Structures are given as structure tokens and as C-alpha cells.
Amino acid sequence: MSDARDLQTTTTNTMGRGNWATSIGFILAATGSAIGLGNIWKFPYITGDYGGGAFVLVYLVCVLVVGLPLMLAELIIGRRTQQNPVGAFQKLHREGSPWQLVGWLGVASGFVILSYYSVVAGWALAYIFKAIAGFQGTAEAIQSEFGELVTSPGQSIFYHTIFMAICIGIVIGGIKRGIERWSKILMPALFAILLGLACYGLFSTEGGSKALAFLFKPDFSKLGAEGVLSALGHAFFTLSLGMGAMITYGSYMKRGSNLVRDAITISFLDTVVALVAGIAIFSMVFHFGMEPGQSVGLIFKTLPVLFKDIGPWISVPFFVLLTFAAVTSGISLLEVVVSYFVDRRGWSRIAATLVLGAGIYVLGIFSAVSAWSVPFSGKGFFDFFDDFSTNYMLPIGGLFTCLFIAWVMKDKDRADEFGSRGPLYKGLRFLLRYITPVAVLAVIVHQLGIVEKCFWLFIRLFVFFLNYAG
């Protein structure tokens, strides 16, 4: 029905926006965005916290049911419109459409996430130098170094400054000569380092088989509802979904490549890297008889203690890997924000990158100074931004993106980019219409504690009623 109304201008002026030079360049850049601190820092520790295999299994299901369809949805929106997230929703709906708010939310998410992401990336950078110098002293002394770094505003701000400068430097170069070129260098290096670390973990330590059992043998006793929902939330973060990063990267694609294949490749690589990083890390952890559930400190506190015995030839590549992964994700976060000001406000790329990069840098200082906390919340800025963006901004952005592509976008626009109207297309449409939004809504409702609040309200009303009736 809506086929009659075609997208008015599918070949709008995209001059000056830039394009990926090669399709492998796009794949590496998009995979670079997806693979980041989420895979190497976050995935292993939440897997540890929720008991291993069962969590991994649920996470894999989430990637398939929510992640993959949304990844494809964002790429379709981006390539169809050749626009930043705000422009994309307007172009597919109408100028001034309320759906542009979803794009706006994405731009704001990019701004907020990069501000604190850069602080963690700064820690990774700092640990390269610590690893080169060698970890020395007692286990307590090594572990307390992390606390010193986090609570020293001077050090945290220093490394945050370097990381932001790197991201700004790359994004200023533009799509081909900045993002694509660096992704082509950093991503293969990352794969090689990771493979080396995993081989070391599997074959040179005694923890390999334990690590495999931990990651792949499901034990549902430690999972719980909380674990299921964390797995879903993590699927968003790790695949860079819900904030228009894939819309933006998709917008620099030329027509012709197969989006389904691309979305599968990106999601597959992201998942494999998380699993391989998990194998490498847990092999070392089990080899030394340490505990897997060490939360946030797994990488910065537990591993350095092991690295003292293993040596710098493993620890230095490990933190280089972490930093590379963070850089290719950081540039995608910055690009979302920059693309809006270049496309819609007519700013030059250099001015947009410098001004917005500086803005994000200043916001990041609040997260870098651990002593500062958000007024009235009792939370530090770092935790507040992390919690708010990952648990609210991304799922809400993802939910509306899903509703938009499933219910608002014209069938022709969608099917043209998808490349067919066969059973696969119908299956995707079904997922995006009914399954994905319900799953995402479940996370948001849980995060807001709506179910719990309603439950207690119900109990209170019930007690009140009993009292009243009695």
C-alpha cells in the first residue's frame, strides 16, 4: 500500500559527506565500533558475576533475537537515507517529524557515552605504561594501584586527555582517510593480538579447559531474572545499538553490498571476540586459582596480579588490545555527534570535531574526578552516566528505532535495502514488529523497577483494603 509513495529522494545530495572506499573498510570500521571495552572489559566480568555458561547462552540468544535484527534495521535506515540519525528519521517520515527525537537521543547518547568511555579507555592506556614498567610487589600493592589511578584526578584527566585527542585526530581525517584507514590498521592488529593471547591461555596455562567449561557449560542456578536482563542490555551496548552509530556508519555506504550479510558478519565477529577474550582471560584466572566473579576489577585488578608472574610479553599486548578496541569504538561515538552538525548545521568537519570533541572532553572531566558526585543522587558522575546511558538511553533509543522501522517506515524503503521480499524478509519484519520490541520493553520496565513498584503498591493497597474492610 505504502509502496505507491516512494521515498522522494533516494539519491539526495551526499556530496561532501564522504563514503567508505571499500566494503571491507566499512566492515572493519563497523566491527571496530562494536568491539570495544564492552567485549574485553565488561563481557568477561558480567559473565563471571552471573556464573558463566548460562549467562553466555542467554546473551547469544539476545544477540540473535534483538541484536541482529536491530543491527540490520539501523544499517537499512542509514544506507537508505545517507543521513545522520536526526536527518534519517526526518527523511523517512517528514521534515519536523517527532521521530527525529529518536535521532536526537542518539546524538545525546554519543556525547554522554564517549565522555565516560574515554575515562575507562584512559585507564587502559595508563596500564600499557604500567605493564611496560612491570607489575611488582604484593598482590595487595598491585591491586591498590588501580584505586590510586581512579582516585587521582591528575592522572585520570591526563589519560582521558590523550584518549580524546586520539579520537579527535582520527575523526577530523574524515571517513576514508580517518576512520576507515585507522580501522584497517587497528582491527587486524587487534585480531592478531587476541588470537595470540587466546592461544597462550588455552595451550600454555592449565586453566584452558576450566575456562571452556566455565563459559560453555550452562549452570542456571546463578543466572536469575537479573542475569537474563543484563544479558539483553549488554547485547545493545556491545553491538553499538540504540544510538544511531550503525545508522551513521550505514549512511556512508554505497548501494550494492548485501546488508544482511554485513549485519551477520559484524554481529558474529563481535560475539566471537567477546568469547575469545573470555577464554583468554579466564584461562589465566583459573590457572592461578583466582575467582572468576571479580566484577569491574577483573581486568585492572585481578589480571595485573597474574601478569606479575606471566610477564610483560603478555600484559603489554593485552592492554594495547584493550586500548585499540576502545579507540575504534570511541571514534564511532564521536562520529555520530559530528555527523549531525556537519549534515544538518553545515559545520565543517574540522570545526565540528574540534568543538564537539572539546565539549565531550569537558563533560568527561566530571567522570574522571571520582570525588565529584551528581547532586542529590548520591552517585559519582561516572556511575551515573554509565548507568543512565546503558540502561536507559540505549534501550529506549533501540525500542523506538525498532518501532519506527517495523511500523512506520514504508515497506518499499525497507524491502529495497533489505534486497528481497522473501521469507527471510518476512521473518525479520515479524521479529522487529512483535518480538524485539517486547524483549526490549521488558528490560526498560525492569530497569525502571516498574514491576517491583507496582507489586509493592498492590501489596500496600491490599493491606490498606484489608485494614479498611476489617
Smaller CB separation from ligand PHE, 145 or 386: 386
Instruction: Give the separation between CA 203 and CA 214, rounded to whole angstroms.
Output: 17
Choices 30-38, 157-165, 191-199, 204-212 (CB under 6 A): range interacting with ligand PHE: 30-38
User: Under the criterion CB under 6 A, does residue 267 sit at the interface with ligand PHE?
Assistant: no
The DSSP H or E segment spanning 328 is helix 312-343
CA gyration radius, the chain: 23
Phi, psi (deg, nearest 5) at residue 243: -140, 15
Beta bridge partners of 380: 373
d(CA 360, CA 81): 27
Closest CA to 64 of 223, 232, 274, 248: 232
Q: What is the C-alpha to C-alpha distance for residues 256 and 402, in angstroms, rounded to an integer?
A: 24
Distance in Å, CB of 385 to ligand PHE, minimum: 13
Cβ closest to ligand PHE, residue 34 vs residue 403: 34
**Count of residues interacting with ligand PHE (CB under 6 A):** 15
Tell me which of 31, 39, 267, 391 binds ligand PHE, using CB under 6 A.
39
Q: Determine the interface stretch with ligand PHE among 35-43, 83-91, 261-269, 316-324 (rule: CB under 6 A).
A: 35-43
| Closest approach of ligand PHE to the CB of residue 458, in Å | 36
Distance in angstroms (rounded) separating the CA atoms of residues 84 and 103: 8
296 touches 48 (CB < 8 A): no
The neighbour count for residue 140, using CB atoms within 10 Å, is 8
Euclidean distance between the first and the last CA atom of the chain, given in angstroms as a whole number: 60
Among 37, 72, 102, 107, binds ligand PHE (CB under 6 A): 37
CA distance 138 to 40: 25
Residue window 218-237: x/- pattern of binding to ligand PHE, with contact defined by CB under 6 A:
-------------------x
Q: C-beta of 86: minimal distance to ligand PHE in Å?
A: 16
Minimal distance, residue 410 CB to ligand PHE, in Å: 27
Residue 223 · residue 55 · CB < 8 Å:
yes
- What 8-state DSSP symbol labels residue 373? B
Whichever of 37 and 70 has its CB closer to ligand PHE, that residue is 37
CB closer to ligand PHE out of 18 and 36: 36
Is 76 or 107 the residue whose CB approaches ligand PHE more closely? Answer: 107
3-20 as b/e, with b when 16 or more CB fall inside 10 Å? eeeebeeeeeeeeebbbb
Closest separation in Å from C-beta 24 to ligand PHE: 20
- Candidate ranges 32-40, 60-68, 375-383, 395-403; the one touching ligand PHE (CB under 6 A): 32-40
Tell the smallest beta-carbon distance from residue 457 to ligand PHE (Å): 34
Rounded distance between C-alpha atoms, residue 157 and residue 153, angstroms = 6
Contact status, residue 10 vs residue 77, Cβ threshold 8 Å? no
Cell numbers linked to 163: 584518549
Please count the residues of the chain: 470
Query: What is the footprint of ligand PHE within residues 373-392 (CB under 6 A)?
Result: none
* Contact string 316-335 vs ligand PHE (x = CB under 6 A): -------------x--xx--
Q: Which is nearer to ligand PHE, 240 or 323 (CB)?
A: 240
Nearest to 12 by CA among 245, 174, 247, 255: 255
How far CA 470 is from CA of 87, 300, 456, 465, in Å, comes to: 61, 59, 21, 8
Instruction: Tell me the three state secondary structure of residue 241.
Output: coil
* From 142, 245, 273, 428, residue interacting with ligand PHE (rule: CB under 6 A): 245
* DSSP three-state, residue 380: strand
243 lines the binding site for ligand PHE (CB under 6 A): yes
CA 261, CA 279: separation in Å to the nearest integer? 27
Q: In this complex, which beta carbon is closest to ligand PHE, that of residue 29 or of residue 198? A: 29
**Site map 104..143 versus ligand PHE, x via CB under 6 A:** ---------x------------------------------
Give the nearer residue to ligand PHE in terms of CB position, either 253 or 305: 253
Least Å distance, CB 247 to ligand PHE, is 11
Q: Residue 109 Cβ, how far from ligand PHE at the closest point, in Å?
A: 7
Single residue of 115, 156, 205, 238 touching ligand PHE by CB under 6 A:
238
CB of 194 to ligand PHE, least distance (A): 14
Residue ranges binding ligand PHE (CB under 6 A): 33-34, 36-39, 113, 237-238, 240, 243, 245, 329, 332-333
